Amino acid sequence: MKRTFGYKLSILAFLLPALILFLGILIAPIIMSGVYSLFNWKVGYPLKDYIGYKNYVELFTSKSIRFTPALGNSLMLALFSVFIQLPLALILALKLGKKIPGERAFLSVFFMPVLISTVVIGQLWLKIYNPEYGLLNVFLRAVGLEKWTRIWLGQKDTALGACFVPILWQYVGYHMLLMYAGVKGVPVELNEAAMLDGCTESQVNRYIIIPYIKPILKVSVIFAVTGSLKSFDMIYVLTNGGPLHATEVPSTLMISMLFLRNRYGMGSTIAVMLIVLCFAFALLISLAFKEEK
């Protein structure tokens, strides 16, 4: 094909719909958020009051914004995610990767929660946690552990943990699926050779499979951490940051900054911080995995 002017124009025409969407909805807004974050901008006022990086200073120093505790909450979620959710997913993936009967059925059941709307799952867990009629307290009363019953989402000391459980529960299947795909990708000869050499199952897992699927483990860790930083839906449905801000995460803060306190500038600052943190953590985790090699 000749590379005429018409050819180049056609290329542009083919790319145009995607480019418009991509630049208009993803790239431009990031730049705009960056600009907004440098202004003290409230709803109804013009975008005039340039204050440089003061929003960022206020974000980390102000006691009334509570960004640091919110960030702490999401990092705590990231910790639980990496050290409880991922190992559980790995165990399931290793077991399912061994060509056992019923493998596909188990896989499909384990993955199902991922596909259900977080709003639906959140509403269900709201009912599970309901202090009077919720399954959890009903169960505790039925087995005689009356004194363990709580207002799970209404008490400051249990609310955060109660929010974490469904979040961790929902995405075990997602990480399991990724790891399972990795385990299936390990060459059969490698497994067989190790078995012939007298390795037990756990030795094969430890010395052959886990090192082999490290790239996937890296992806899982990155998703677990960035997903925790971005978490919003479940917390919004369960507590919306309450009681007394005990379950606030950066995203819920951002939304309340925008629509309750009408501070677009500060809301954008939180958005920019989230993006920066996500990229920074992704980079750090990649580096950590490289070091280990």
Q: Please, which of residues 184-203 interact with another protein by CB under 8 A?
A: 201
Is 82 a binding residue for another protein by CB under 8 A? The answer is: no
What lies within 8 Å, CB to CB, of 36 at 6+ separation is 47, 264, 265, 268
Task: Select from 163, 223, 225, 238 the one that contacts another protein (CB under 8 A).
Answer: 223
Q: For residue 137, give both structure tokens.
A: 């307290």
Task: Select from 5, 26, 260, 290 the one that contacts another protein (CB under 8 A).
Answer: 26
Q: How many residues bind another protein (CB under 8 A)?
A: 86
Nearest distance, CB of residue 43 and another protein, angstroms:
9
Q: Which residue has the tokens 């094969």?
A: 204
What lies within 8 Å, CB to CB, of 157 at 6+ separation is none
Task: Select from 93, 168, 254, 285 the one that contacts another protein (CB under 8 A).
Answer: 254
Is 141 a binding residue for another protein by CB under 8 A? The answer is: no
Asked if omega into 101 is within 30° of 0 (cis), the reply is: no
Binding segment (CB under 8 A) for another protein, from list 57-65, 67-75, 144-152, 249-257: 249-257
- Cα–Cα–Cα angle for 134, 135, 141, rounded to 5 degrees: 95
φ, ψ dihedrals at 53, nearest 5°: -90, 15
* 170: nearest Cα among 81, 104, 253: 81
DSSP letter at 21 equals H
Nearest distance, CB of residue 211 and another protein, angstroms:
18
Which of residues 4 and 63 has its CB atom nearest to another protein in the complex?
4
Q: For residue 287, give both structure tokens.
A: 């580096």
Nearest distance, CB of residue 254 and another protein, angstroms:
7
* 172: nearest Cα among 51, 87, 231: 87
Task: Select from 57, 79, 84, 116 the one that contacts another protein (CB under 8 A).
Answer: 116
* 153: nearest Cα among 136, 169, 138: 136
Which of residues 157 and 273 has its CB atom nearest to another protein in the complex?
273
Give the x-and-dash track for 93-112 against another protein (CB under 8 A). Answer: --xx---x-x---xxxxxxx
Binding segment (CB under 8 A) for another protein, from list 59-67, 71-79, 86-94, 149-157: 86-94
Is 30 a binding residue for another protein by CB under 8 A? The answer is: yes
Angle between helices 250-259 and 264-292 (to 10 degrees): 160
Binding segment (CB under 8 A) for another protein, from list 9-17, 49-57, 69-77, 145-153: 9-17
Nearest distance, CB of residue 204 and another protein, angstroms:
14
The Cα–Cα gap between 262 and 45 comes to: 10
The Cα–Cα gap between 118 and 22 comes to: 26
Task: Select from 51, 75, 82, 126 the one that contacts another protein (CB under 8 A).
Answer: 126
* Size of the chain, expressed as the number of residues it contains: 293
DSSP letter at 3 equals -
Task: Select from 54, 236, 256, 261 the one that contacts another protein (CB under 8 A).
Answer: 236
Is 14 a binding residue for another protein by CB under 8 A? The answer is: yes
Is 174 a binding residue for another protein by CB under 8 A? The answer is: yes
Is 79 a binding residue for another protein by CB under 8 A? The answer is: no
